[in-house]
Amino acid sequence: MRLSAGNSGQTYGWVAITLHWLMALAVVLMFASGWWMTGLDYYDAWYHRAPALHAAAGVVLLLLLLFRFAWRLGNPRPALRGAWWEQKIALIVHYTHYLLLSIVILAGYLLPTAQGRRIDVFGLFQLPALLELNNTQQHLAGQLHWWGACAAITLAVLHGVAALKHHFVDKDDTLLRMLGLAPVFKEDDKQ
C-alpha cells in the first residue's frame, strides 16, 4: 500500500494525513501550555518566557492552518462515511474547527501585540503589531482566546470520540483512512 501526496475520492494523501496529526498535536500542546501558563505567578521563571514561546508556536500553528486550508482547496475530500446526518455533522464540525482555530489564533495574536510589541517567531522572523488595544479590548481578546480554545479542544475530543465510534462500533475505515492504513485503491479498481 502506497499513499500518494494528494487525496483521492476515497482516501487521504500523506500530506493531508500529516497536516491533520501535526495540527491535532499542536492544538493539544497549545491548549495544555495555555492552561499551564494561567497558573504561573509573576515570580515564576516561566512567567514571561512561556507566553513568548506560546505566541511563537501560535504563529507556526497559523501557518499550518493556512497551508492546510490551501491544501484542502486544491484536493478533493474523500467520501464521508456514515449516515447522511453523520456526514452533515462531520462537515459542520470540520468547518467549526477551522473557524474556532482562526478565532483563537487571531485573538491570541492580539494579546502580546496589544501594547505594540512584536511577536518573535523563534528568532526566524517577527510578526508586527498592527493594532494597539485598550484594557477592555485586550480583556475581550483574552476571553475570546480562552473560551475559543476551550471550545476547540472540546470539539477535538468529540471528533476523536466520533472517529473511535466509527472504528469500533460502525467498523468502517474512517479512522484507518486518517492513519494511512486503509486500503488504497486506484479509481479504476472500483469499476
Q: Which is more confidently placed, 142 or 1?
A: 142
> What is d(CA 174, CA 178) in angstroms, rounded to the nearest whole number?
7
Cell numbers for 55, please give them.
Answer: 505566541
> What is d(CA 56, CA 99) in angstroms, rounded to the nearest whole number?
20
- Write down the domain spans for the chain: 14-185
pLDDT digits (tens, 9 = 90+) for 79-92: 999 899 999 999 99
Q: What is the mean pLDDT of the chain?
A: 93
pLDDT digits (tens, 9 = 90+) for 6-38: 998 889 999 999 999 999 999 999 999 999 999
CB 72 within 8 A of CB 20: no
Burial of 7 (0-12, 13-18, 19+ CB in 10 A): buried
| CA proximity to 123, closest of 60, 69, 182, 30 | 60
CB 167 within 8 A of CB 174: yes
Which CATH number is correct for 14-185, 1.20.950, 1.10.10, 1.20.120, 2.60.40?
1.20.950
